[in-house]
């Protein structure tokens, strides 16, 4: 109790209130009266709801409310128009109020590990948003209005139920990192090719059979993960990506890429112990063998680059590729 009162008293001087990890079930009545607060943490408690009076904290710029039991947010939260960073991860949120879009100063918003099924269309009003984390929710779709977030640089939507993303995502031209792994996506819109500032793209663990050729315009891409998809091939346009440092793709997806499989697949060797599994970081099937085989990314990219050049020049150079059967290639 003494510590709690001390924190409240100090906040009147510093503008910073830390009420984290105090086993609280509700926000203390005195808090909304602290109009000078700039930063507040109520993280790691058992808080089940926020009072409407929280909207009175008009100077608040940072709010940490993660690791609680919140199932909803009051509409008055939209009155916190000075907030630039808000963490609501690891709660029980099912929906978000439409007033969330009134928080137009927001730069970083994290909502991972909740129960969200839909997002309000007003999300598109947060035109200063740079980072949005929606990892591990139950989202079926992303609103078309996300295209208004022209400054968005990081978008994390892994571990949801997305089957695709809106075509308007192509308007988020500041995106540098996009994580869509562990969804049930069956298609990627061609508009993804407009995200020319992209550095990291994670599409692994989905249901993708094909990729749009427009991905070849992502020339600044450095990391691309396509593993654990039923891909039937790769577009040769990926060969236009010269800065790619890491490509992860299952061997089954590159069977038609010349030279990509000749001695370059990591062995699906027997791994006998749990210790070995952890040491190698590989996933095993029921027999103890590596569940999927990954092609060597460097060899795949070299092959795609040669094929992409051939499309433009009419000359296909397969020398030095270690091919054993050129007939199937030509």
- The two structure tokens encoding residue 257: 């890429």
42, 44, 45, 47: CA torsion to nearest 10? 70
* Residues above pLDDT 70, as percent of the chain: 76
Nearest CA-CA partner of 292 in 248, 242, 328: 248
Topology of domain 2-313, CATH: 3.80.10
From CA 45, how far away is CA 23, in angstroms rounded?
5
pLDDT range class, residue 252, cuts 50, 70, 90: confident
Nearest CA-CA partner of 274 in 264, 262, 282, 266: 282
The pTM for the full model equals 0.83
pLDDT tens sequence across 194-225: 999 999 999 999 999 999 999 999 999 999 99
From CA 98, how far away is CA 121, in angstroms rounded?
7
What pLDDT score was predicted for residue 193?
Answer: 97
Q: Which of 135-144, 154-163, 235-244, 309-318 has the lowest mean pLDDT?
A: 309-318
pLDDT tens sequence across 221-242: 999 999 999 998 888 899 889 8
- The two structure tokens encoding residue 258: 């010349």
pLDDT tens sequence across 20-33: 999 999 998 889 88
Note the Cα 162 to chain centre separation in Å: 12
Residues 6+ apart with CB under 8 A from 177: 153, 154, 155, 156, 198, 199, 200, 201
pLDDT range class, residue 253, cuts 50, 70, 90: confident
């Amino acid at each position: 109790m003494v510590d709690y009162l001390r924190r409240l008293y100090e906040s009147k001087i510093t503008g910073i209130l830390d009420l984290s990890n105090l086993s609280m079930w509700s926000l203390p009545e005195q808090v909304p009266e602290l109009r000078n607060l700039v930063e507040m943490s109520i993280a790691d408690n058992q808080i089940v709801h926020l009072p409407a009076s929280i909207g009175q904290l008009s100077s608040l710029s940072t709010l940490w409310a993660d690791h609680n039991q919140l199932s909803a947010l009051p509409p008055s939260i939209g009155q916190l128009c000075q907030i630039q960073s808000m963490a609501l991860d690891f709660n029980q949120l099912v929906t978000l109020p439409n007033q969330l879009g009134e928080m137009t100063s927001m730069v970083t918003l994290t909502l991972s590990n909740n129960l969200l099924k839909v997002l309000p269309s007003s999300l598109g009003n947060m035109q200063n948003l740079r980072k949005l984390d929606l990892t591990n929710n139950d989202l079926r779709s992303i609103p078309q209005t996300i295209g208004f977030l022209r400054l968005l640089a990081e978008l994390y939507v892994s571990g949801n139920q997305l089957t695709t993303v809106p075509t308007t995502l192509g308007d988020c031209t500041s995106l540098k990192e996009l994580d869509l792994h562990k969804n049930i996506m069956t298609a990627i819109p061609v508009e993804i090719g407009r995200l020319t500032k992209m550095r990291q793209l994670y599409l692994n663990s989905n249901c993708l059979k094909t990729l749009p050729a427009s991905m070849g315009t992502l020339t600044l891409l450095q990391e691309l993960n396509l593993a654990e998809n039923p891909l039937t091939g790769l577009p040769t346009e990926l060969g236009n990506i010269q800065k790619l440092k890491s490509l992860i793709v299952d061997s089954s997806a590159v069977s038609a890429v010349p030279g990509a499989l000749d001695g370059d697949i990591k062995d699906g060797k027997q791994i006998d112990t749990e210790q070995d599994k952890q040491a190698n970081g590989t996933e095993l099937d029921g027999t103890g063998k590596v569940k999927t085989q990954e092609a060597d990314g460097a060899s795949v990219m070299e092959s795609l680059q040669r094929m992409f050049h051939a499309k433009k020049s009419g000359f296909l150079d397969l020398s030095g590729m270690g091919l054993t059967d050129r007939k199937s290639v030509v």
